Structure 1
Amino acid sequence: MTYTGRCACGAVTVQVDAKPLMARQCWCRQCQTIAAGGPTNNAMFPAEAVHITGTLGAASWPAASGNTLTFHFCPSCGTQVYGQSSARPHIKTMRIGVIDQPHDLAPQAVIWTADAPPWAVFDPTLERFERQPPAPAPPPES
């Protein structure tokens, strides 16, 4: 399976050569800050399957989980491309919005619901976690 995508200005392109390990909607405060008050929608892939061309900017800060989060973005247009946790360097958490449509990516769980604002609406069919969920399972051996 291959996914392709690009930032809003096209200076950064992505190709992902793997199925997602998991897709989640995140309501942590850091994600709300970078997503204009709402959640981020993310698909997690093995890092070695993610290929990026173009120059990325990065910013890091300590997360509520205690890990360091690094967010990678296009410095020309500001599009968020992916995030990466110090606890899981083998995973790149791609922003679903950067992936070209059509695709089959959709959140399978909602995380950090304890940080969500009172007006947040959660899909009742998705698994919910008040805080940090367990890491996704590794991909099956080929």
Structure 2
Amino acid sequence: MADSDAIEISGEMNEWSRVAASGNTSSAKFCPVCANHIYHYNPGNPQHLMLKPSTLADTSDINPTIHLWVCEKQDWVQIPEGVMTYETQP
């Protein structure tokens, strides 16, 4: 998760939205050419972006402090001690 003020994104993006099980709207921005998701966000809280780091050219500066949807993680994923976790979407 990152603050939108801390991120600079350039280029055209498409968007989709759906109503989540919580009743909140979940939206995603994605590349109109390859359809890779760049980030997800809640339109009611647009300053918090859930980045998809596989789309970043350099991830060496990323130090995750929050893990979402841990109820659906693969068994082999190791979450470091001391980070905040949420079973689903907070």
Q: CA deviation at 1:124?
A: 4.5
TM-score, with normalisation over the residues of structure 2? Answer: 0.72
CA RMSD of aligned residues (A): 2.5
Q: CA deviation at 1:73?
A: 0.6
* Unmatched runs of 5 consecutive residues or more in structure 2: none
* Unmatched runs of 5 consecutive residues or more in structure 1: 1-42, 134-142
Report the counterpart of residue 7 of structure 1 in structure 2: none
TM-score, with normalisation over the residues of structure 1? Answer: 0.50
Report the counterpart of residue 61 of structure 2 in structure 1: 104
Q: Using the alignment, how far apart are the partners of 1:91 and 1:74 within structure 2?
A: 19
Work out the percentage of aligned pairs sharing the same amino acid: 27
Cα deviation code 1:23-77 (max 9, x no counterpart) = xxxxxxxxxxxxxxxxxxxx312x2443332211111111233211111111111
Cα deviation code 1:68-94 (max 9, x no counterpart) = 111111111122111111231222332
Pairs aligned (count): 89
Q: 1:121 to 1:127 in 2, by over 3 A?
A: same
Q: Secondary structure at the match of 2:8?
A: strand
Q: Using the alignment, how far apart are the partners of 1:89 and 1:65 within structure 2?
A: 17
The residue type equivalent to 1:89 in the other structure is P
> Does 99-108 or 78-87 show the bigger shift?
99-108
